[in-house]
Structure 1
Amino acid sequence: MAVFLRPGGSRGKQVQRDLAVIAIRGTADVHDRLRDWRSVVMYSYPKAFVEAAAELTRMYHEQGCDVMITGHSLGGYLAEVVATSLGLPGAGFCAPGPGFHNGPGAGLGFVTVNHEADTIGNHNHDFHVRPPVYILDGGLLMLPWTAHSMAEMVKYMSKREDWTNLNAVAKCSAEQPRVPLRVFAGPRSRRD
């Protein structure tokens, strides 16, 4: 878990507060694989992780910052659990659904963005707080590690620079995919 700070300032008549973004990486080592197994497969609640994120959130709120959360893969799963537990906005990418690990905060302002061909990120796809936004760039016939890659997702999202965690679903409603093929229910975007 890392925190990135974007200084606030004024834009015209609007004053923005500093923004602390809590970022959670995806699976990177054997400890993460064990967390994957416990949380995603065995459905063990990541209590220590949520408590650590709650402490960071409290600390930055006390400093007058807005706080949001993001993550990829296991990090996206954990970001959604934290967002719904603490009521934080944010975004998860290529993230499996947390199901009953989601908290009562309903994750207002939280969105999950998965590639439709991502077999890892779409595990438990029905268990998100709301349906994920599915990216179709590159099609459905791609290698699993390509569809799950954060580097690829960064490329896809660079075509959607006007998207935010608050408007992604609305942006998708303005697009009509060429082929109305759907593997999962949810909003879609294709820009290749």
Structure 2
Amino acid sequence: MSDDKRVGNVPERDDNYTHNIHRSNERSLDRRAFMKTVLGGVGLFAVSTLPWGTLAAKQLLAPGSGKYPRKKIVEAEAVKTGEAVEFFYPSDHEGALLVRVGEDEWRAYQNACTHLKCPVFWSTEKNELLCPCHHGKFDVMTGEPLAGPPRRALPEIELEIEGGSIYAIGVKPYET
């Protein structure tokens, strides 16, 4: 049989190169196609999250580089020793707590518990910062957790006293 007559004919069964090709099954998902699909999805995910990762890395590499507003909290004479005032800082959606711990001594913290972001309250009777969700307690002088599941300190708000008024001027970054 000459080569010209074989063109267009179905190959014989013993042809090792083409006997495993079945036209009805050629679009099924084999291992190679599956891996291409998975790697394409992973690549698409990586590229789509790149902007958020860049912003997070910038924040981690340069903590405290963001500017905080200077905000008046309260007149110093309006708060007695052992009392607290709730306010919002640095934005109108982030609650905070100012506590007068001494005659001329003040402490302020963001009042979202570092465990699950439940609100933290000041207990005048016990002189403690309390998280009622999981019985967390924080030291008013340092913001460090004393009891419960929280493991990190409350973020401390930097204060400034000027002309009898208390101002929030920044949030201290976490120390590792």
Normalised-by-shorter TM-score class: under 0.3
Structure with greater proportional strand content: 2
Q: TM-score, normalised by structure 1?
A: 0.22
Name which one, 1 or 2, has greater alpha-carbon Rg.
2
Structure with greater proportional helix content: 1
Q: TM-score, normalised by structure 2?
A: 0.24
